[in-house]
A = this chain, B = another copy of it.
Amino acid sequence: VKEVKIREIGEFGLIDKLTGRLGPGDDSVVVGIGDDAAVTAYAPGAQIVTTTDMLVEGVHFRTDTIDDRSLGYKSLAVSISDIAAMGGVPRHAVISLAIPVEMDVERLEDLYAGVADICAEYGTTVVGGDITKTSGPFVISVTLLGEIEAGRALLRSGAQPGDLLFVTGTVGGSAAGLDYLEHGQTYMEASEVVESAPDLLQFHQRPRPQVAAGRLLLESSACTSLNDVSDGLASECNEIAKMSGVRLELDASKLPLHTSVRRYATLRGVDPVQWALFGGEDYQLVGTMKRTDAERTEALFAKNGLALTVIGTVAAVEEQSVGVTLLYNGQAHELKPKGYNHFG
């Protein structure tokens, strides 16, 4: 494989190579890549949902646990998930890269192939970006614009006593996948690993943001608060509790765990609940809904081929103190955020 150093093709040559991998987008792209700024159009009366994430090699990803194409996919997945967690539709992205000077162009082309993959999957278009060199690690900065019906954004702050706590899909899979990438080779011969590996890799390397689930929750008006699982359920539930001023009770026995995750956890001799609570990067949605809406919401999800599981409650008013109670093996514990502190 011929490796081309970036300095040989220059900044503009690199931009051409990378943007050549991307689609032109739909009619909403009035001015795309190439002018001072992009111009985009939205539905009449829509509001804009904006999120931004910065990923640094060695902090957020390592080349030994994710390939470049999956990294491109996941870099946008992180932001798409934030839009999903507001109930919005992801539309237009800008991507900036700080590139170590000796990096191979081919790595960046693979990254953009992954970006193109997820953009095609979610109807999102890259409309701009910036590239620069750096003497430090590779940095990827993504900003994503979504659209949402005016005044309808789903916030973290609306949970009410008596509501039910739910999560979409399954959780703990990304942490299980990372564990497999770090320790899995020891068990390569085990049939549990042979069967589970593709799922575990997908959960960690190509997590699928829950845009459709977010839209169902917005359209059905069933949701009183919503967050996405980027830092683990412990951290995300505490965010909802804090922003809503309530106490959540999370029943560990109800957590939806994928068969492959359970199987691999058994082999590893660990409790997969730990992965679900503290692992993060599952990019599912966790939120609350009125108890009276539960049945029809579960039916709505089932009808749309999506999973939604009730995993707890918002405590009654008389028990209120802000935080999260974890019910685990019949005991009640205070569930601390243990969110990932980049500077800790």
- Cβ–Cβ contact A10 & B135, under 8 A: no
Q: In this complex, which of A37, A41, A58, A129 has the most chain B Cβ atoms within 10 angstroms of its Cβ?
A: A37
Q: Number of A interface residues at 8 Å Cβ cutoff, please give it.
A: 76
Partner of A141, one of B38, B96, B133: B96
- Give the docked Cα–Cα distance between A95 and B135 (Å): 21
- Which of A45-53, A169-177, A184-192, A297-305 faces chain B? A45-53
- Give the docked Cα–Cα distance between A281 and B124 (Å): 32
Partner of A37, one of B50, B55, B94, B135: B50
A31 on the interface (CB 8 Å rule)? yes
A334 on the interface (CB 8 Å rule)? no
- Cβ–Cβ contact B227 & A94, under 8 A: no
- Render A45-70 as a binary contact track against B, CB cut-off 8 A, 1 for contact: 10111111111101110000000000
- Cβ–Cβ contact A82 & B37, under 8 A: yes
- Cβ–Cβ contact B341 & A85, under 8 A: no
- Which of A144-152, A264-272, A325-333 faces chain B? A144-152
- Cβ–Cβ contact A39 & B86, under 8 A: yes
A92 on the interface (CB 8 Å rule)? yes
Would you list which residues of chain A between 200 and 230 have a CB under 8 Å from chain B?
226-228
Q: Which residues of B contact A99 (CB under 8 A)?
A: 343
A139 on the interface (CB 8 Å rule)? yes
Would you list which residues of chain A between 79 and 95 have a CB under 8 Å from chain B?
82-83, 85-86, 88, 92, 94-95
Instruction: Output the nearest chain B residue to A52 by Cβ-Cβ distance.
Output: B94
Partner of A341, one of B10, B56, B92: B10
Q: In this complex, which of A6, A38, A128 has the most chain B Cβ atoms within 10 angstroms of its Cβ?
A: A38
> Given A41-B47, A52-B128, A94-B143, 4 more contacts at CB 8 Å?
A38-B51, A39-B153, A56-B136, A136-B139
